[in-house]
A and B are shown apart, each in its own frame.
Chain A
Amino acid sequence: MGPFDLLALEPPGWGGNLLRGLANSVQIAFGAFGLGLLIGTAGAYGKLYGGKITRDLLGLYTTIVRAVPELILILILYFAVTDLVNQMVLAMGGERIQISGVLAGIAVLGVVQGAYATEVLRGAILAVPPGQIEAARAMGMPPVKLAWRITLPAMLGFAIPGLANLWLIATKDTALLAVVGFNELTQETRQAAGATKAFFTFFLAAGAIYLVLTLVSSWGFARIEAWARRGEPRRSR
């Protein structure tokens, strides 16, 4: 079979498998990025305005997650979390369950993303000129509304470059989930390559798919950043 037959969407081609792997990867990356944003927003506000204990705990979280290699974190979190859930289920008289790979992947990568997002968003919030927040306070804006309507849009322009990086890292980190047997793009590629011995063709194809994903994402984030910075005079970039 030539490369094009190997990459055909219908079996015996493996293209369909690769695309399904891509869909799984994107799905997990999307979920993990979203979860990371939620954790990061809470984490950033906690670090900036929380009490001492909150700040210490968040400091511990961001330090550990950023210090330990992601592969090890994934293995620890995946097996520890699966084990913990199962022990709870067993203790309550239930039977061992298989945790969905997608949910576990999202949870594990989301926790990792959350640590980095905490720092990205904390920096972005600090970059908002304090006067803009003060003006809103002086006009009697309640705190949650102020965070949502003033701080969030004002910090977005500062946060987007860092968040775009996090998203790209998320898409590629899904490859690490191959170690726990999850069928994302890299895993599918390895299987196709192993079965056909056409290593070069499949890894080149996978690389091209990651590249396209990155290019599309970068274009999207550039659009969002331009919108977020709509109030700024154009600077030469």
Chain B
Amino acid sequence: MGTKPYSTPEAIRVDDLYKSFGTHDVLKGVSLTALEGDVVAIIGGSGSGKSTMLRCINFLETPTSGQITIAGEPVAMRPDGTPADRRQLERIRQSLGMVFQSFNLWTHKTVLENLIEVPVHVMKCPRDAAIARARKLLARVGLAEKEAVYPAFLSGGQQQRAAIARALCMEPKAMLFDEPTSALDPELVGEVLQVIRALADEGRTMILVTHEMKFAREVASHVIYLHNGLIEEQGPPEALFGAPKSDRLKQFLKSVS
């Protein structure tokens, strides 16, 4: 978006997304496009629908209506929004590495086993190759010594770095982060943000839901402010944070700073 050449391919595209839980309309027509290499930050108050939007992208939530397109391929949907082609959805999910607020590592597997689980047992990648890749990634996130450790024996920051490495080990086309540092003690936030920043710097496509405004401003190429299930304002970080137009965004930025 913005500064990229017009020929950059689209990585993730969301068109006119609606989502209700029963009678509660959470998303009321949201669209966004992330080109390859984009870092899209989504900000907004609690309950504004940020997580729901992110989870609709890989169908952890079933959209009520709308269209999700990943790398040019529309996700097949039935009229009621449920995915129509399980195999296609599984393949698309493997191309989107998701990182959760609560890490969600598998507690009965060691760190290394967590990383190679899906590459080896679902994507049928040779075990040796997967292990080699996993070790490289663990070294990258500073966990080389922890490969044989069970997640419960790691700090929150270490667990989240392992979870990021687990997502990367699938060699995804894009990453989805849902408040990756919100469950961490303040002193552990930095080490995780540093890993995410390095990913942004190497040109990885990502969509990042975050409450870390300073971080969003530094790494994002595009920022979306969500309010009550609608995009209230969006644009490059300098504009959104430096010169917010809507009163709601001004108020929101004041409340979080």
Instruction: Tell me which residues across on chain A come within 8 A of B93, comparing CB atoms.
Output: 137-140
Instruction: Tell me which residues across on chain A come within 8 A of B98, comparing CB atoms.
Output: 135, 138-139
* Complex alpha-carbon distance, A135 and B92, angstroms: 14
Instruction: Tell me which residues across on chain A come within 8 A of B90, comparing CB atoms.
Output: 140-142
Closest to B110 in A: A231
- How many residues on chain B are close to A (CB under 8 Å)? 32
In the complex, per-residue mask of B71-105: 1 if CB is within 8 Å of any chain A CB, else 0? 00000000000000010011111101110101111
5 extra interchain contacts, Cβ-Cβ under 8 A, other than A131-B103, A141-B118? A129-B107, A134-B60, A140-B92, A231-B150, A233-B153
Instruction: Tell me which residues across on chain B come within 8 A of A131, comparing CB atoms.
Output: 100, 102-104
B108 touches A140 (CB 8 A): no
Given A230-B150, A232-B152, check contact A139 B106 (CB 8 Å): no
Instruction: Tell me which residues across on chain B come within 8 A of A132, comparing CB atoms.
Output: 104-107
* Complex alpha-carbon distance, A136 and B167, angstroms: 11
B107 touches A135 (CB 8 A): no
* Complex alpha-carbon distance, A156 and B109, angstroms: 13
Asked if B121 is at the interface (CB within 8 A of a chain A CB), the reply is yes
Instruction: Tell me which residues across on chain B come within 8 A of A141, comparing CB atoms.
Output: 90, 118, 122
**Which residues on B are within 8 Å of A, measured CB to CB?**
58, 60, 86, 89-94, 96-98, 100, 102-109, 117-118, 121-122, 150-153, 163, 167, 170
A154 touches B107 (CB 8 A): yes
B104 touches A134 (CB 8 A): yes
Where chain A touches its partner, the secondary structure class is helix
A140 touches B122 (CB 8 A): yes
Given A142-B86, A150-B106, A231-B107, check contact A137 B151 (CB 8 Å): no
* Complex alpha-carbon distance, A153 and B150, angstroms: 14
**Which residues on A are within 8 Å of B, measured CB to CB?**
129, 131-132, 134-142, 145, 149-150, 153-154, 156-157, 228, 230-233
Tell me how far the C-beta of A235 lies from the nearest C-beta in chain B, rounded to whole angstroms: 11
Give the 7 A-B CB pairs with smallest separation, nearest first: A140-B93, A131-B104, A140-B90, A135-B104, A231-B150, A140-B94, A231-B107
Tell me how far the C-beta of A187 lies from the nearest C-beta in chain B, rounded to whole angstroms: 42
Instruction: Tell me which residues across on chain A come within 8 A of B100, comparing CB atoms.
Output: 131, 134-135
**Sample (19) of A-B pairs whose CB atoms are under 8 Å apart:** A129-B104, A132-B105, A132-B106, A135-B100, A135-B106, A136-B118, A137-B60, A137-B93, A138-B58, A138-B93, A139-B94, A139-B97, A139-B170, A140-B92, A142-B86, A149-B121, A228-B108, A232-B107, A233-B153
Pick the residue among A137, A154, A230, A233 that contacts B106 (CB under 8 A): A154
* Complex alpha-carbon distance, A228 and B108, angstroms: 7
Pick the residue among B91, B97, B121, B163 that contacts A145 (CB under 8 A): B121
Tell me how far the C-beta of B171 lies from the nearest C-beta in chain A, rounded to whole angstroms: 12
* Complex alpha-carbon distance, A150 and B106, angstroms: 7
A231 touches B170 (CB 8 A): no
A231 touches B122 (CB 8 A): no
Instruction: Tell me which residues across on chain B come within 8 A of A149, comparing CB atoms.
Output: 117, 121
Instruction: Tell me which residues across on chain B come within 8 A of A228, comparing CB atoms.
Output: 108
A140 touches B89 (CB 8 A): yes
Closest to A135 in B: B104
B122 touches A142 (CB 8 A): yes
Instruction: Tell me which residues across on chain B come within 8 A of A232, comparing CB atoms.
Output: 107, 150, 152
Tell me how far the C-beta of B162 lies from the nearest C-beta in chain A, rounded to whole angstroms: 12
* Complex alpha-carbon distance, A129 and B96, angstroms: 22
Instruction: Tell me which residues across on chain B come within 8 A of A150, comparing CB atoms.
Output: 106
Instruction: Tell me which residues across on chain A come within 8 A of B170, comparing CB atoms.
Output: 139
* Complex alpha-carbon distance, A142 and B91, angstroms: 10
Instruction: Tell me which residues across on chain B come within 8 A of A142, comparing CB atoms.
Output: 86, 90, 122
* Complex alpha-carbon distance, A139 and B93, angstroms: 5
Closest to A143 in B: B86
Pick the residue among B60, B103, B150 that contacts A138 (CB under 8 A): B60
A231 touches B60 (CB 8 A): no
Closest to A152 in B: B108
Given A140-B118, A141-B90, A233-B153, check contact A154 B60 (CB 8 Å): no
Instruction: Tell me which residues across on chain B come within 8 A of A156, comparing CB atoms.
Output: 108
Instruction: Tell me which residues across on chain B come within 8 A of A153, comparing CB atoms.
Output: 108
* Complex alpha-carbon distance, A137 and B83, angstroms: 13
